[in-house]
Each structure stands twice: as structure tokens, then as C-alpha cells.
Structure 1
Amino acid sequence: MISMRYHIVSLTAVFLALAVGVVLGSTAISGRLLSGLTDDNSALGEEVADLRAERTGLTAKLAEADRFAKSIGPLAVKGTLAERTVVLVTTADAEPGERDALAELLRASGATVTGEVQLTDSFTDPRKADQLRDLVARLQPAGTQLPTGADPGTRAGGLLGAVLLVNKDTGQPQSGPDEAAAALTGLASAGFVTVSPGLRAAQLAVVLTGGAVEGDSAGDRAAVVGRFATQLDRSGAGVVLAGGDGSAEGSGAVGVVRADTAATSVLSTVDNAGTAAGRVVVVLALREQLEGKSGRYGVGGNAESAAPGVVG
């Protein structure tokens, strides 16, 4: 007769055998799996090394091309803006080195740079939009009219357009010296702008910004700059909005403008102003603005061509 103890011993033996089989089987599978993973890891390592080498090579080529563009740039733009005046408007994230290089190239084109206005972080801060909008209404020079747009970027563009740009038909300032000084002082005192000494009104303007706007309210901040530049363009003979790497994205000022067909019909944009070649394009785009034309230039996917007159 088979006892209960026999059943227990038999079942224990079966389970022990199963356990041993699972361990042995998994060990064999794990060995094959680890061997496969090791091979995959080696292949990926080689691919990463190849990509790094390719990136290094491309970076070197881009640096060489930028050096060439920098050396030939003054010759490429010589006389393009002869006897023209240009004012620079920069945002808080614009690189000082890029601003200085652009100003130098503008002078090489024959233009006179009449000064710079820098828009501070407060200018694009959504929390200060009402304050900026109300201040603009109080500072508007007599005889000029605010645009109908209610957003602070458009309103500020209307005010600074009347202060920074001359009348495109007569070449005369749109506001008196006292009113212009009061407007700039008011904006500066409130922390919205900083103004270079001796600033004078000009025929043309470049709004120079950084790349993609980051952080909270990035889209709103980019929209303020885009709408400001668009309205500024409507106030004078021509404006170019120029940005660096990433500026043509949805969170960049250039990208905001390019998504608005009404804006692109008047305002020219350049999305690679951080390069020597891009700065040449900025000067050429300013010249095109004088002819009543506009375009989307650079290397972004929403650019129409690399430069004015280039099919691409």
C-alpha cells in the first residue's frame, strides 16, 4: 500500500526536477541571449563611432564655410545699402557677438547704423502685457496713431515704429525729438527697453533675436517679438526679423511670423543669422525690402530659399 509519505516524496521529486530543468534551460537561453546582446552592443558602438566621426567632419566643413563667408561677406554686400540708415533692435536672448558682426557688415554695405534698442525680458513677459499695453498708449506721440491690434507686441511696434523709423515717403522723422525721447525714456524707465546713446531714427531696421524661445510661455514670448517686428515693418521702408539656430521652429519668433501669411507678405525673415552667410542674407533681404519685396530665407524647413534671388 502506498503511503501518504510516498506521495509527498514523489511530488517533491517531480517539482525538484522541474526546477532543475528550468534553471538549466534558462541558463542556456541566457547565454545565447547575452551573446546576442554583446554582438548588438558592439555593432551599435561601431555605428555611434562612425556617426561621431561624420559629425566631426561636418562640423569642420561648416566652420570652414563660415570662415569663407565671413571673409567674403563685406565684398558680397559692398554698396548694397549705400547712403541708407539702419537701426538695430535686439531681444534679450540675441548674442552680442552676432549683433556686433551684423553691425560691422551693415557698415561694409554702405549703411549707417543709427543705434540700438534692446528689448528686455520684461518686454515679452506675459505677466507684464497689460502694463506694456497701457504704457504704450500713454507714450504715443501726437499726430501718430496706434495700430488696431490689441496685443502688446503690435502696440509696441506701432509706438517704436513712429520713434525709430522715418517716414518712408518723405524721409522725415514721424515724431518730434521731445516726443521720441519721452517715449524711449518711458519704456526704459519701466524696464522694457535699453537704448544706446545718440540713437536716431532710420529708414530700415533689423530685429535680431536668438533661437527657439524656451521655458514657460515660450510661445507667447515668441509671438510678442514676431508681432512687434511685423508692425515695425508697416511703419517704415523695411524690416528684417533675423534669428539664430531654432528661431524658425514653432517656439521661435521667426517661426511665429512664418506661420502667418499676412505677416510674411510684408516682413522678411532670416533663420540663420548666427552664421556669417546668414548675416549676408540679412543685408540682402534689407535691400529687397527697399524694393517692396519680402521673403523667408535661411536653412529652416519653412524657408523658401537660402537667400533673395536663389531658387531653392
Structure 2
Amino acid sequence: MIDFRYHLVSIVAVFLALAVGLVLGTTMLQDPLLDTLKSETGELREQSDRLRADKEGSEAFGEGADQMTAALAGDVLDGRLDGEDVVIVSSPGADEALREGMEQRIEQAGGSVEGRIAFTETYLDSSRSAFVDELTEQLAEGIEPDGEGPYERAGSLLAAAVSAERADKADKDAGGEGGFDGETVLAGFAEADLLATEGEPAGAADIAVVLAPAAPFPGAEEGGEQPPGNGIMIALLRAFNDGGTENGAVLVGAADAAGPGGLIAQARTEKARYTTADAAGRPTGDVAAVLALAAAAEGDTGHFGTGEGAESFVPDPLPESRDTEDAEDTEEDASATGSERRSPPEGRP
């Protein structure tokens, strides 16, 4: 008969066998296993060091490029936006430093920033779309806004409000009195806390620069659906570009705006017909964005920067300075004057 002592001895024997096996196994495998771990750790450390060095080198190169760009920006941009009146339109959450950098480069290029419009988070609140539509209807005196949805119609009205071309037409049609009044439209939207203005953007824009938010709008859903704020701002961009301002609109932002959920990313996904630039926010990117703006003002649109969907970093060929023709005429006049001066008096060989 098998008693309890037999079971106890069997269990002890099993544990002793396991212990002996573990000791023998670890003794035999210890050296190869440690060597393998040491080798893999060394390789990972080398990879980490290389990546860190590459990152530091890229950052140093970028800083050097920015320093060189800042030094040469005046010559690179000179005359490319001469005579162009610009209104800066900031999305909710747009970086103030981005706006300041763009304004500086626009002025270096000879453009004039006539005014600024900054939209509020309230404008992006889709639960207030009925209110936005009603306000649009109330303020649309002398004009019939285009579009089916509330934000399409509001965008059409706001684009007309800042358009210099539309302001000129209103003056001609109404003799400067009555009819459509862009200043009243902007004041109405501002009073409703949908936007704020600086300067005199009403009736001032030949072209609009729309600044993307520093980070994607909240509300993106799983499955790739974009934040609702993107659709609202893109409706505005379409309105500015499709007959709002004379030379359309340009969407400008930093690299994140071309990433997942970004405003520029969605514009490119929808095959936007207006220009986008995604490398702004530092001197090199700001200069590139203004070159893209100058090309758009001449009717050459495209997508520029480093993000997905960008065709190149800057337009190719670059837009010419608007002083070029004047300079060529001056050179021709000087050459002709010089020839006349060098012509021998009559009768002298």
C-alpha cells in the first residue's frame, strides 16, 4: 500500500531534481547568455549615440540655416510683394510668434499688412451653427452669400467683407453710400464674440494669409475622422479663395499642421486649390511661406514645405521681384543715354 510517506518522498525527489537541473542549466548557459546580452546592449548603445549625434547635427544645421536665411531675407524677398495688401487671419490657437514672423517677412517683401482677424473658439462651436447662419443673414445687406451650409455662407460673407476688390465695387455701385459694408459685417461678428479684429481689415485685402493652429483642433475621432474645426476653417478658406479676395488665400502653418489631424493635412487630402505652406514658424520656413504667397499672388498655387503632400520646399521657379521690369527699363534707359553720350559730334569720324 502506498502511504503518505511515499508521496512525501516523491515530492521531495521532484523538487531536488528541478533544483539540480536549474543549477546545471544556469551554469552551462550563463556565459553564452551574458555574452549575447552584452553584445546587444553595446549595439543599442551605439545606435542611440549615432541617433543623438544625428539629431544634434540636424538641429545645428537648422539653426545655421535660419541664421543665414535671416541675414539674406531682405535680398531674397525684395520686391516680391510690392503693391500687395494682405490681411492676416488667425485660426483659434494660432501661434502669436508665427503671426509676427510672417508679418515681418511680408513687409520685407514689400507687402502691406492692412489688418488682422483672429477667430475665437466660439466660432468653431458647431452647436452654434444656427446662430452663425442667422447672424450671416442679418448682416448680408447688399450681397447674397454663396454656399449651402452656415459656415460656407458665413465664410463667403467674411471673405467679401475683407476684399479690397469687393469694397471698390461697392463704392462704384452705391456711390460710396449704402449697399454692402464690410466694416459692419466684421463688427457684427466681433460683437457676437466670433472673432476679433486689429487694424483695418475691412475692404483691405488683395490676398488673405490664414494661419493654422499650433496644435490640431480637438475632437478628432478614431477611424481617421478629422476635427470638426478643420471643416469650419476650410469652408472659410474656400470662400476666400473662390472669388472672395482678388488673389485668393494661402494657408500657412508649422510642421504639426501637416501631421495627423492637422488643418493643412486635411486641406491637402481634399486637393485644395489654394496654396499651403507647412514649414513656417522659424526664419527659413517663414521666408519660404512668403515666397509661396508671392507665387499665389501671381496665380501660381501649390503645396510647399516638408510635410506629406508638399510638392517642394519653395516654388520652382521662384516668383520674380516686381521691381525687375522697372530695373530693366532703368538699365535700358541708362544704356541708351550712355550711347548718346558716346556718339561723336556731327562731322567727326
TM-score, normalised relative to structure 2: 0.77
Shift of 1:8: 4.0
1: CA distance, partners of 2:86 / 2:290? 10
Contact 1:212 1:249 survives alignment (8 Å): no
Contact 2:81 2:111 survives alignment (8 Å): yes
Shift of 1:91: 1.6
Mapping of residues 160-309 of structure 1, within 5 Å: 160-167=158-165, 171-172=168-169, 179-200=181-202, 201-217=204-220, 219-234=227-242, 235-238=244-247, 239-261=249-271, 263-264=272-273, 267-309=274-316
Shift of 1:31: 6.9
Distance 1:251 1:9, change over 3 A: closer
SS at 2:196's partner residue?
strand
Contact 2:114 2:199 survives alignment (8 Å): no
Mapping of residues 58-207 of structure 1, within 5 Å: 58-140=58-140, 142-152=141-151, 154-167=152-165, 171-172=168-169, 179-200=181-202, 201-207=204-210
Identity level (%): 24
Contact 2:207 2:246 survives alignment (8 Å): yes
* Structure 2 gap ranges (5+): 221-225, 319-349
Contact 1:210 1:245 survives alignment (8 Å): no
Shift of 1:132: 2.3
2: CA distance, partners of 1:177 / 1:242? 33
1: CA distance, partners of 2:179 / 2:24? 90
2: CA distance, partners of 1:210 / 1:5? 77
Shift of 1:150: 0.9
SS at 1:246's partner residue?
helix
1: CA distance, partners of 2:64 / 2:18? 66
Q: Partner letter of residue 145 of structure 2? A: L
CA RMSD of aligned residues (A): 2.8
* Structure 1 gap ranges (5+): none
From the CA coordinates, give the structure whose radius of gyration is larger.
2
Runs of 4+ in 1 over 6 A off after TM superposition: 174-178
2: CA distance, partners of 1:84 / 1:74? 17
The more displaced of 155-164 and 282-291 is 282-291
Distance 1:21 1:161, change over 3 A: same
Q: Could you report, residue by residue, the CA deviation over 1:215-241 in whole angstroms, capped at 9, with x for unpaired residues?
A: 324621122222211211121222111
SS at 2:116's partner residue?
strand
Shift of 1:173: 5.5
Shift of 1:46: 2.8
Shift of 1:198: 3.4
TM-score, normalised relative to structure 1: 0.86
Contact 1:166 1:173 survives alignment (8 Å): no
